[in-house]
Structure 1
Amino acid sequence: MRLPLVNSQSTKIINNKSLLHKLGYSVVLLLLIPFIILVSLELFYTGNIHSVTAWIINYSKEFILSYIVTFALANIFYIFPRKIYLIISSIIFTLFSILGFVSRQKLINKGSPLVPSDLLLAKEALEISEAFKGVTAAVALIIFASICIIFLIIKFIPAAKYKCSRKIAVFSLSALLLFFLYTYFGQIQRVFALELINYSQAMNYDQNGMMLGFILEAKNQKISSPSDYQQDTINNIVQNNKASYTINPDFKPNIIFVMSEAFWDPTLMKNVTFNQDPIPFFHSLQKSQTSGTMLSAVYGGGTANTEFEALTGFSTQFLPAGTIAYSQYINRPIEALPTVLKSQGYSAAAIHTYDNWFYGRNSVYKSFGFDKFISKEFLNSPKFHGNYISDIELTNQILKEVNNTNKPDFIYAVSMEDHGPYGTSENPDNTIKTQASNLTPESQAILNNYANTINDVDKSLQQLIEGLQKSNQPTLVVFYGDHLPLLGDNYSVYKDADFITDANSYEDYLNLHSVPFVTWNNFGLETTSNLRLSANYMGTLALEMTQKSGSPMTDFLSNLMKDDSDTIIDPVYQSQEKINLDQISKYKDLQYDLLFGNEFTYEFTPNHTPKTNDNYIQGSALPSITGATISGDELTVHGENFVENDKIYIYDKEIKTTYNGTTTLTAVVPKNTENKKISIQLKLSDSMNKIISQSNIYSIN
């Protein structure tokens, strides 16, 4: 029997539908696979789908750019046959999932996510992996799941006809996207208005997503070695730069640094007067003690960079513009002032009246060799001035540390009271008023609010000095601001007061980066006024004033100071300072060696090699449980070193806790613990829900 012929037009329509179906399938595959890979990365990092969904909705442009990157990265392999493409996609999916998971574990355990420098340092990576509970099993599970997916692809996905023109088109598009992303990422960053949040990598990833956050961080971290960096160069620098001042190993005065947030002298504005002196005590110290001007590398923010320079002697002017050294470059032990002074019998404490995790101080201080870090979480019912903890609290904590230790103290204290913004509406409680016809009402309100805040800071400084006088211990205090305050948008107050013109000249740069500093001592040092040095020389100055030995870096800086080469400023204006290019070259070589390089310095000075700081704690002292009793349903815990934010945990679950003093806490016993052995521990969590202090475990029947 002869079959009827199929209509050729019908066959054509059927074939076209089949082609469209296949084409639609391919397009869906091309679009869906990168989406799955990107979502898997974010899901493993954040730990829940709700956070991923919220990120996609709230930060849509960051998501779109992340998707474009993932699309290009995955589909550049589309040039291969379908099975190979799917297998490679599965491998990328696996790697991204593992990176997201490891980053989350690092965030949970260390307070910050995975950053590029973690991948570059094998030792750091090993340290991270050892800290993760169950990480090996979880990674193995991800890999096993990936292997299963690859097996299913090989077994059940049919081979597809190789469409050369389509694959070349997709490959070319992906390659072109990767080329533009790599070559013009800076321009793309500006177009998408991407923001690298330097002060917190966790927040950086929350906003940009892990992929873009990681890329932004990698772009900002790239440091090239100096052209003449080699072992002989470092040896020559170290051997020819011994300390240029006298050292007295038997004299060990307390050394206290107070870096006061945004502290500056507004009376330096010649066209503005005040009805009374905003900082009378500071001015009195300027007249009677060694004082001068400190050049800060930052304006209006970037506190941690000034701190980094003062503690290490390194200069942020040798790092990429806009970087925050604490968050990006501290990934190994550094010989900073705490390490230097501890080797000479000092105790070393850092105090800060703000969150411990900000700028990564909680981990940086460990790398610098501090014994302890007392942050706001450990302060009991602190007094606030405006939005921030009062500097009186900082003063009280400094005096407490000085009086409670039996060693000479090195203390680095960082305040917060004077942190902006200062408000365009005047505080009705202001008593100090500006008198200037050239200020707008908004500028005048900002300046009045600022002047009254620093007046309170000045009183705190006076209380500190008076308290140290009573302690009768030989002490040096170095007091300075981290940077000028951010007074209005676009320098508005400074411009209104004719303090600067347009912030583009050498003179304007100096005005916006010059912070007055004072010292105080009670052991009869000769005074020097009108000193001028950048923040990276502050530690060397303190060592010289107290006749303490330093590090290879501070020894090098002491020789620069001897030659009056004691200012490192923006490279644009550096030629107008005294330091010459040869000195700068040596400085860069030494800094690179200690911060990024092979640490040749310590081969020539092995006694200066910094070691892992295993005894570092957060808080003044770890809490200790010495006893516990139950009366009815009330649990009373006895011990020492308790603070207000300590919480009682039973069977590793937090219960509502009442603070009764440094030796007693109480809580209501959960009902399901009756007639059972109870395991008790104290823990203290910060605002990121990370445990930063905990006691011994105590059991009662």
Structure 2
Amino acid sequence: MASIVKQPKLNIPEEEPAAVSPRKRKLALRWPKLALTQRQYWWVTMALLAVVPLLSFTLVEYLNYNDPWKDFTPTQIALNLVWYYLGELFFYFLRGRRSGAVKLGLGIAWGFGCANHYLIAFRGRTLFPGDFLCLGTAANVAGNYDYSLSQRQALTLVIMVLVILLMKFLPNESRKKFSWKVFVPSAGVSAVFLAVFFGTGLVEGLGIEPSMWTTRGNGLFLNFAVCMKYMKVDQPETYSQQTLSGLGESYTSDELSVSVMDPDGTVRPVNVIVIMNESFSDLSVLPEVETNQDAMPFLRSLTENTIKGYAYSSVFGGTTANSEYEFLTGNTTAFLPAGTVPYQMYVSDGDPTLVGQMKALGYTAIAAHPYRSSGWNRPSVYSNFGFDEVYFESDFQNRTYMRGDSSTGYVTDQCDYENLIRLYEEKEKGEPLFLFNVTMQNHSGYQMSWENLPREVWLTGSLEGRFQTVNQYLSLIYQSDQALEYLISYFEGVEEPTMILFFGDHQPQVATNFYTDVLGTDPDTALAEKKQMVPFFLWANYDIPEAEGVELSLNYLSTLLMDTANLPMTGYQKFQQELYEAVPVINTVGISDGQIWYGENETLTGDLASAVEEYQVLLYNNIFDKSNRLEGFFSLTEE
């Protein structure tokens, strides 16, 4: 019989005195220990090695709003548990103690679950391997979130700590000598599993695919591992030089030629200003969302010389760089591995983009973002894209902040636009200017102070008083709308033909349960796409065609810009013009032919499938087969 005594009666060797400090030995003697025989200790620790991963799995999934024993299939449960057991095995060989492997496995699993819990709260999505390449970006804004423990975090933390404290009743375990007899079979079994998991079609055969927004379909560790497997992008089945040549012949790039006023009277803009406004969206597109007043009255009032509607983003709540990438390149991220950020992984010097196209047409290309340069690898990316000038927060003059000061708040849209106007006024008259601006005012989190932010718009109806973070967000959008009126009013009085494209990068992650309340926990694709909608408009201070209610995905926006501006277009943009007619929306959530929505795992048929396959071929050629990139297709041709 095991009993509790103040000093352990051990049949297992204690650690050498020299290996333990006097202070630690004194503390160890004060903690009562179970008097176990060697055999009893072996059975207890082996039982813990077997049982604690089940507890870890339960705690991690509870942290992330899942019921692991109901929401997952037996196959998904088994594939999740394998990773917990492999973790224990790794820590055993690392530490040489069974008890240490249990503690480390439990603690680190809880840490990952907690990180994922925060990511769902802050970004509305799960943890991906690519997130570890973005730690610098995350650190930039880390101080603006609320890290207080939720009820789920507190409960799971208490359970984890109790388990670790209870294990302190076990006798001290000496470090095991490294044994090849144990290591070789363990490593062999692990290697076989990893080879089968990552190197065969087992996962695909089981119907397991990466889950982009939640872990409900897989579980945290299985989903993370599946995302690692899918990080490798395979060639499309129809990929060939013959297919590429056929597309190149069907869509030829225009020659390099441009002037402000052609002899036939065609006006082209001297100034092209693109504003991607951080988290700018229209929450009224969501069911049951009502407010005391319109949050964007000026934007809605724009009709003259304006094309406007909604663009569908591939991201939600964050990962701004992917929206930026889709616009500047025309490449959708829909067919890239879930959670990857092209700015971190796929961009190289000289990649064809809208920046290079505008520079080839004689425009000075400027990028401006009123925040730190360390976000999303932008200095390197902007250099690769070929911007002539790049400005970050410290370069903005007379900075004013909202929801805090320079260390806690964000530069206001009003200040941002004043600096854009300054850049315009500093250029020489008649000099073509392409200005790409990413704002910062509306960035999360929305539990920040209300400093320099009047409370002017809030939720009413059934949602009134329930989501203060949403109310802050709505008031921010109202301020953005007023700043937008200032910007447009200024350029209305400018003589040089000027075109402004404005769009949001994604909807905000305001509160975990806000979207589940208005959309439900398992919306169909059409309803889920409501979370991806952001307003856009294309305005000019001269006559252009007018349109309202236009819907398209972000990857088409640069093509729409060039077409409306009557500027020379690449073969890629001409292909996208035709693709848009068949597939107006392609993003990570689904595909639309203008009438029917297809989810990310639904099979496309007929002309729709053919059009998407051609796009995938071009995407692969442009992103992954750069040495064989279709010549003269993604850029303008020489005269």
**Partner SS, residue 282 of structure 1:** helix
Task: Give the Cα–Cα distance (whole angstroms) in 2 for the partners of residues 517 and 272 of structure 1.
Answer: 20
Task: Give the Cα–Cα distance (whole angstroms) in 1 for the partners of residues 592 and 131 of structure 2.
Answer: 36
- Residue in 2 that maps onto 1:254: 271
Task: Give the Cα–Cα distance (whole angstroms) in 1 for the partners of residues 471 and 566 of structure 2.
Answer: 41
Task: Give the Cα–Cα distance (whole angstroms) in 1 for the partners of residues 416 and 629 of structure 2.
Answer: 36
**Partner SS, residue 179 of structure 1:** helix
Residues 487 and 385 (structure 1), Cα distance of their counterparts in 2 relative to 1, 3 Å cut: same
**Residue 504 of structure 1, CA deviation:** 2.8
Q: For 1:549, which of 543, 552, 568 is the aligned residue?
A: 568
Residues 551 and 168 (structure 1), Cα distance of their counterparts in 2 relative to 1, 3 Å cut: farther
**Partner SS, residue 585 of structure 2:** coil
Instruction: Give the CA RMSD over aligned residues.
Output: 4.1
Gaps in structure 1 of 5+ consecutive residues: 1-16, 18-60, 73-111, 116-165, 188-213, 611-701
- Residue in 2 that maps onto 1:170: 183
Q: Deviations over 1:133-174 (max 9, x none)?
A: xxxxxxxxxxxxxxxxxxxxxxxxxxxxxxxxx756532222
Residues 175 and 377 (structure 1), Cα distance of their counterparts in 2 relative to 1, 3 Å cut: farther
Mapped pair 1:471 → 2:508: no
- Residue in 1 that maps onto 2:481: 458
Task: Give the Cα–Cα distance (whole angstroms) in 2 for the partners of residues 239 and 349 of structure 1.
Answer: 33
Residues 430 and 380 (structure 1), Cα distance of their counterparts in 2 relative to 1, 3 Å cut: closer
- Residue in 1 that maps onto 2:102: none
Contact 1:310-1:535 at 8 Å conserved across structures: yes
**Partner SS, residue 372 of structure 2:** coil
**Partner SS, residue 317 of structure 1:** coil
**Residue 517 of structure 1, CA deviation:** 1.0
One-letter identity of the residue aligned with 1:394: D
One-letter identity of the residue aligned with 1:474: P
Residues 609 and 264 (structure 1), Cα distance of their counterparts in 2 relative to 1, 3 Å cut: same
Residues 343 and 572 (structure 1), Cα distance of their counterparts in 2 relative to 1, 3 Å cut: closer
Q: Deviations over 1:645-683 (max 9, x none)?
A: xxxxxxxxxxxxxxxxxxxxxxxxxxxxxxxxxxxxxxx
Higher relative contact order (CA 8 A, sep 6+): 2
Contact 1:318-1:588 at 8 Å conserved across structures: yes
**Residue 291 of structure 1, CA deviation:** 0.5
Mapped pair 1:587 → 2:611: no
Gaps in structure 2 of 5+ consecutive residues: 1-12, 14-82, 95-129, 134-178, 203-223, 261-267, 404-408, 599-606
Mapped pair 1:289 → 2:317: no
Q: TM-score of the superposition, structure 1-length normalised?
A: 0.55
Mapped pair 1:355 → 2:378: no
Q: Which moved more, 1:510-519 or 1:311-320?
A: 510-519
Q: For 2:546, which of 500, 504, 527 is the aligned residue?
A: 527
Contact 1:317-1:569 at 8 Å conserved across structures: yes
Aligned 1:484-523 pairs, distance under 5 A: 484-489=507-512, 492-496=513-517, 498=518, 500-523=519-542
Q: Deviations over 1:66-115 (max 9, x none)?
A: 9939969xxxxxxxxxxxxxxxxxxxxxxxxxxxxxxxxxxxxxxx9998
- Residue in 1 that maps onto 2:43: none
**Residue 288 of structure 1, CA deviation:** 6.0
Task: Give the Cα–Cα distance (whole angstroms) in 1 for the partners of residues 470 and 398 of structure 2.
Answer: 30
**Residue 441 of structure 1, CA deviation:** 2.8
Task: Give the Cα–Cα distance (whole angstroms) in 1 for the partners of residues 537 and 503 of structure 2.
Answer: 7
Residues 564 and 402 (structure 1), Cα distance of their counterparts in 2 relative to 1, 3 Å cut: farther
Mapped pair 1:566 → 2:589: no
Residues 606 and 469 (structure 1), Cα distance of their counterparts in 2 relative to 1, 3 Å cut: closer
- Residue in 2 that maps onto 1:278: 295
Higher CA-based Rg: 1
One-letter identity of the residue aligned with 2:463: L
Q: Deviations over 1:256-287 (max 9, x none)?
A: 11111111123334634433332121111157
Residues 570 and 605 (structure 1), Cα distance of their counterparts in 2 relative to 1, 3 Å cut: closer
**Residue 221 of structure 1, CA deviation:** 3.6
One-letter identity of the residue aligned with 2:504: G
Q: Which runs of 4+ in 1 moved over 4 A?
A: 64-67, 69-72, 112-115, 166-169, 181-187, 214-220, 243-250, 424-429, 571-575, 604-610
- Residue in 2 that maps onto 1:395: 417
**Residue 181 of structure 1, CA deviation:** 4.3
Contact 1:262-1:300 at 8 Å conserved across structures: yes
**Partner SS, residue 450 of structure 1:** helix
One-letter identity of the residue aligned with 2:380: S
Q: TM-score of the superposition, structure 2-length normalised?
A: 0.61
**Residue 552 of structure 1, CA deviation:** 3.0
Task: Give the Cα–Cα distance (whole angstroms) in 2 for the partners of residues 390 and 277 of structure 1.
Answer: 20
Identity of aligned residues (%): 26
Contact 2:276-2:437 at 8 Å conserved across structures: yes
Q: For 1:235, which of 225, 233, 245 is the aligned residue?
A: 245
**Residue 362 of structure 1, CA deviation:** 1.0
Aligned 1:687-698 pairs, distance under 5 A: none
- Residue in 1 that maps onto 2:393: 376
One-letter identity of the residue aligned with 1:174: A
